[in-house]
Amino acid sequence: MATTIGQIKKMFYSLSDEFSDAYVSNDKLSTLWSAASYVFFNDQIDKNQATFTIVEYLQPIIAVDSAAVVSGYTIDLTLVGAANDYWRFRNVRPTYVSGGVTYTEYARQFLDTEKGSVFSAGSYMYPRYELVGDAILLQPQTGTCTVAKVEYYSFPIENAFTNDASSIPYDKDICDSIVREMANRLAVEQREGDFYQMTENEIKQNN
């Protein structure tokens, strides 16, 4: 379900009118939307990784590269996604071939405390991975592994806010949460601006 830019603007002004009557340009709305989107989805991803529960809010940004290249049991995440839309890692399912048998299983991340243990080596039926910067290091490092399915989070959608009839493929609940963050950021900016102006006036009066 999508939400139009016009609807998002109405949601935003209904909140911001409570503390501000200043005009907010489309460029400013776009900047606020971008920053708020990253904050919102980052929080949702962190929540998902902490609880291992499926978060409905993340569905619009979950993407899959079903043929990610594996080289030397390593996946370069900067090359994942045909549209260069890779943002954050979600899961990996490598394909191993050994002795004429193909194994395709989801890998499980191993922790620093497990390094060097028998479990960190992984197996074809129970592969493991380590996330190092923009790379996934797979275990086991035996057999043939040249391709993997990588699930990832794509970048939040940017919008210029110039066409009220255009839409963003996020439902109203997601947009409402992002808009609340937009309004909060604007309120903070204006409070800081008011404080700066008050301080400047006090300096001028005391000189």
The answer on pLDDT for 143 being more than 90 is yes
Going by C-beta distance under 8 Å and a sequence separation of 6 or more, which residues neighbour residue 155?
A: 61, 85, 87
> What are the start-end ranges of the E strands in the chain?
3-4, 62-69, 74-76, 86-98, 101-104, 108-109, 128-132, 135-139, 144-154, 167-168
Torsional class of 158: left (φ above 0), alpha (ψ -120 to 50), beta (otherwise):
beta
Per-residue pLDDT, averaged over 187-192, amounts to 76
Q: How would residue 119 be classed by pLDDT, with cut points 50, 70 and 90?
A: low
Token duo for residue 121: 């080596």
Residue 53 has pLDDT above 80, yes or no: no
Where do the structural domains in the chain lie, given as residue ranges?
3-55+164-206, 59-154
What is the pTM for the complete model shown? Answer: 0.82
| Mean pLDDT (whole number) for 173-201 | 73
Q: Give yes or no for residue 83 having a pLDDT over 50.
A: yes
Residue where the block lists tokens 């989801």: 106
Q: Which residues contact 24 (CB under 8 A, 6 or more apart)?
A: 12, 16, 32, 186
Task: Specify the pLDDT at position 200.
Answer: 44
What does the pLDDT read at residue 202? 44
Higher pLDDT, 50 or 129: 129
pLDDT above 60: residue 190: yes
Q: Please check the confidence at residue 194 and state whether its pLDDT lies above 70.
A: no
CA dihedral 187, 181, 163, 56 (to 10 degrees): -170
How do residues 132-141 score in pLDDT, each as one tens digit? 999 999 999 9
Closest-CA residue to 94 (of 134, 146, 29):
146
Q: Two tokens at 187?
A: 């309120």
